[in-house]
Structure 1
């Protein structure tokens, strides 16, 4: 896999049973790249390991005044130098390729899971954790994949050095063969403690990231209630905890690094002392001593890969665990029914949990006293369960459960716009360039959403587009527009898709009453003959609806037109007019009672 071939056509099905299993699966997916990188790493390290041989031959040739052997040594040094250069360049190239492709695979998996879960993702996992996984954690996971091949090359190189020195000069080679494994494994007793400290650091850093993300998301509310200092103090405390944890973790890794410097130095001194005695006794030549001494000195480079792989695994394992936890989430608790691809979902939209029914082709308004209940209901109408792990009854469209339909089919027939839609940066033309039926042109959608002033503002902001608002760029999240303008552009984007069922959660909460009345009329006219469900409490919207359903304490308890419910339903008046009656509230009817009332109304 080359970088130019990204993104993957299919990133695969990951093993998410644990963080370690996820890392193993990721390594298997890039086995070819790992082998290629390891081979280049072997060329690089063996070239370094071969330098002492050429130096030893050269030193002995000078001692013996042998010009032929000196020329041979020069040729060997040139060859080893070329191997070092080629191996280093290609090792870096292939290792970075492994890092980028692994990170891209993880990001594709996360993107696919985000698209699958939609807005339910942030209800199951904190928004800060999602940000942390998709940024910092991806880098840590890629680091481990990159370091793995270098570690393998270093380990094989050390084995070759030990065997080669034992064959070349057994007296010194045995000392080296015993000492190098001790050096490589000397840090193992410290790794569990270093790993625990790294895990604590990552956990605290994740909590600080979540706190920062949540604070930024609610900054406007915090300013309104004067809570900035309170949350700033909390973030400072969390930041200090992260700093202290990072210092404790760094101390342990510094100790590991120090051990891997001190112990090779001790081995080098021992080899030099023992080798000097052997040379004085005439048991080895000066060239052989120089060769063995240089080889031991150069083992520092492959030994560093042992420290790196330990650090990479310690930091990447909690990151992989977090990524696996996100990737293990599923859309629903039930499996798609066989043959669901051929089933056509049309007709009434019905939620058995609340008893809410939205007849096909009608404009149905839903009134909930609790905005959170309305948000969860909107998600359910889009095919998501109320709770991730609880048994649930799926919403039915034409008698077919939405969670038994393929995800693409379900999202084609039902579109949910939440109360805080996001506008991506780009031109207005790109914003409205979404999958759609073709039955509603962008001009009609913009007109129905009453975006005339938005188009005028974009035309005036145009610099090099000749005043064409469709070609004017919108800043990230539409920050250059007012809240009402952003809301209406998002509504136009939803209208242009022209789905079978459109669910809108408070689509006009940020606009003035005059504009709201015009938007209500535009949506009602444009969606005539199509199923539309609006969750709102604004009388201007409710008055345009064909039918209104009141949801109280999680149950649909009353239905009728806006004026009928105002006249006979005190709970409805309390929500819509913000007034309360002294008369006691009637008991909540059962779902069957509401269905009987629907039959009478029909």
Structure 2
């Protein structure tokens, strides 16, 4: 795999049972690149290790006054220099390729998981944690993958040099062969505390990142209530904690580096001292002493790779563990017993799956809550609790995350087909869910509305149904000189230049353009005034005629225009019917919709009577007749 071949057509199915297994899986997926890097690394270090031997030959040739051997040594050094330069260049190229391709694979896996989980991802993992995993953790994982082949080449070369020294100079070779492993093992006791400090730094950095993102996202609100300095002080304290943790971590790694300098230096002193003693006794020549000194000096270089791989592994394993935890989240669940034989809808709906290759159609039914949305009708679900409504919306979309405490929770059915068992693309084509806090990406309005759709609903119709006339007028003013076309006006990141109601209506228009077979809207009009909400309700009913639409809301204006209303206190269906029927027959529903108590005390009932039908109309959204 080369960099110009990125992105991967398929990044693969990772082993996410643990961080170590994930790293092992990454290594297997890059076996070719690792072998290439290992080959060039071994050639590079073998060339470096051979230079001291040739220098020893040259020194001995000078001592023996042998011009032929000196010339041969000079030619060999020139040849080794060329080999080292080429091998070093290719090693760097191969190692960096491994780093980039590994990081790209992890990022693609994370992006795929984010697309699979949708908005439910941030309900399982904090947004700051996801940001840290997709940036800093990906870099650390790539670092370990890149350093692995260089470490392996260093280990192979070190073993080779020790073996040559044992054969050529057994006395000095024994010292080197025993000393080098001891040098490597000397830093092992320091690695666990260094890793713990690095983890502490990483955790504090993640919390600081999350605090920063929350502060930036709510900056407008903070300014409105004068809370800027409070949150800035919190971030300052969090950043100082990160700095302190980074200093503590750096101290430990500095100690490891000092040990890696001190101990090899002591080994070199011991070898030179003993070698000089042997040379004085005539047991080795001067050239051999120089060669041994050069070989031991060379061994300090691969020892640096041992330190690097220890550091890379210490940093990358927790990062791989966090990445594996995110990648281990699953959308699918085992099929429940609520699917009737033959794929019939337990709710009794008449819908069914579309023809071969056609879209999935039919009634929408949730066995967990008991919500039944007949095909082609506008159904409004009243939960009373925004969190319950949000979880219901996720479940209706067929991509709510699996919960360990609910391993056998049955799937939502569309026309008798379990959404959780469908491919993600098919499930989301059939059911589109608009979250209560939809995100507007930066770009022009034309780009915002350029989404996959059936092509049966135009952007103009969707904008009209969502009552975006004032939004278009505001965007036209910022469309640029001489243009005046609101479709070319740029929308800032997350639509921060627009009001909450304007963002909500543009998001609704984007959802309407898709003309999805089933559209689920979670509080689509919570940020607009009642007059605009009434017009949106009419436009939604008109534009979605013949399509299945589920709205989670307790707005009387939306409820009065629904074909069917389902009351779900606590997330379980308790009553169904029209808005007016439920107002008359169900006190709990009336209390939620009118924001009052289930049973009115006598004095409240008298006041209600005195206020007349107009007051009741304001609370219920309908006109009462005598």
TM-score with structure 2 setting the length: 0.87
Measured after TM superposition, the shift of residue 226 of structure 1 is 6.2
Tell whether the 8 Å contact from 2:332 to 2:401 is kept in structure 1 after alignment. Answer: no
Correspondence 1:4-403 to 2 at 5 A: 4-218=4-218, 235-334=235-334, 345-385=360-400, 388-389=403-404, 390=406, 391-403=408-420
Measured after TM superposition, the shift of residue 382 of structure 1 is 1.1
Corresponding residue for residue 430 of structure 1: 447
Tell whether the 8 Å contact from 2:393 to 2:520 is kept in structure 1 after alignment. Answer: yes
Cα 1:403–1:465 shift into 2, 3 Å: farther
For residues 47 and 483 of structure 1, what CA distance do their matches in structure 2 show? 66
Measured after TM superposition, the shift of residue 494 of structure 1 is 0.9
Cα 1:312–1:331 shift into 2, 3 Å: same
For residue 559 of structure 1, give the secondary structure of its aligned residue in structure 2.
Answer: strand
Tell whether the 8 Å contact from 1:60 to 1:286 is kept in structure 2 after alignment. Answer: yes
For residue 462 of structure 1, give the secondary structure of its aligned residue in structure 2.
Answer: coil
1:409 is the counterpart of 2:456:
no
1:455 is the counterpart of 2:472:
yes
For residues 193 and 335 of structure 1, what CA distance do their matches in structure 2 show? 46
Measured after TM superposition, the shift of residue 3 of structure 1 is 0.8
Measured after TM superposition, the shift of residue 45 of structure 1 is 1.6
Measured after TM superposition, the shift of residue 207 of structure 1 is 3.7
Moved more, 149-158 or 250-259: 250-259
Cα deviation 1:344-365 (Å, max 9, x = unaligned) = 7422212222222211111112
Tell whether the 8 Å contact from 2:11 to 2:108 is kept in structure 1 after alignment. Answer: yes
Measured after TM superposition, the shift of residue 120 of structure 1 is 1.9
Unpaired runs of 5+ residues, structure 1, are 585-602
1:469 is the counterpart of 2:486:
yes
Aligned length: 584
For residue 184 of structure 2, give the secondary structure of its aligned residue in structure 1.
Answer: helix
Measured after TM superposition, the shift of residue 463 of structure 1 is 3.5
Tell whether the 8 Å contact from 1:351 to 1:357 is kept in structure 2 after alignment. Answer: yes
Counterpart of 2:462 (choices 426, 445, 448) is: 445
Corresponding residue for residue 500 of structure 1: 517
For residues 461 and 561 of structure 2, what CA distance do their matches in structure 1 show? 19
For residues 386 and 104 of structure 1, what CA distance do their matches in structure 2 show? 25
For residue 118 of structure 2, give the secondary structure of its aligned residue in structure 1.
Answer: helix
RMSD across aligned C-alpha pairs, in angstroms?
2.7
Moved more, 270-279 or 204-213: 204-213
Tell whether the 8 Å contact from 1:124 to 1:388 is kept in structure 2 after alignment. Answer: no
For residue 381 of structure 2, give the secondary structure of its aligned residue in structure 1.
Answer: strand
Measured after TM superposition, the shift of residue 240 of structure 1 is 4.4
For residue 352 of structure 1, give the secondary structure of its aligned residue in structure 2.
Answer: coil
For residue 556 of structure 1, give the secondary structure of its aligned residue in structure 2.
Answer: coil
For residue 70 of structure 1, give the secondary structure of its aligned residue in structure 2.
Answer: helix
Tell whether the 8 Å contact from 1:385 to 1:392 is kept in structure 2 after alignment. Answer: no
For residue 376 of structure 2, give the secondary structure of its aligned residue in structure 1.
Answer: coil
For residue 553 of structure 1, give the secondary structure of its aligned residue in structure 2.
Answer: helix
Cα deviation 1:306-354 (Å, max 9, x = unaligned) = 0000011111111111111111111133169999996974222122222
1:526 is the counterpart of 2:517:
no
Measured after TM superposition, the shift of residue 93 of structure 1 is 1.4
1:486 is the counterpart of 2:490:
no
For residues 232 and 241 of structure 2, what CA distance do their matches in structure 1 show? 14
Cα deviation 1:437-457 (Å, max 9, x = unaligned) = 222222322222222333333
Tell whether the 8 Å contact from 1:465 to 1:471 is kept in structure 2 after alignment. Answer: no
Unpaired runs of 5+ residues, structure 2, are 344-352, 602-626
Moved more, 362-371 or 523-532: 362-371
Measured after TM superposition, the shift of residue 385 of structure 1 is 4.7
For residues 111 and 171 of structure 2, what CA distance do their matches in structure 1 show? 59
For residues 464 and 178 of structure 1, what CA distance do their matches in structure 2 show? 78
For residue 494 of structure 2, give the secondary structure of its aligned residue in structure 1.
Answer: helix
Measured after TM superposition, the shift of residue 497 of structure 1 is 1.2
Measured after TM superposition, the shift of residue 211 of structure 1 is 4.1
For residues 233 and 444 of structure 2, what CA distance do their matches in structure 1 show? 40
TM-score with structure 1 setting the length: 0.90
For residue 366 of structure 1, give the secondary structure of its aligned residue in structure 2.
Answer: strand
Cα 1:201–1:513 shift into 2, 3 Å: same
Corresponding residue for residue 592 of structure 1: none
Tell whether the 8 Å contact from 2:335 to 2:411 is kept in structure 1 after alignment. Answer: no
For residues 201 and 450 of structure 2, what CA distance do their matches in structure 1 show? 43
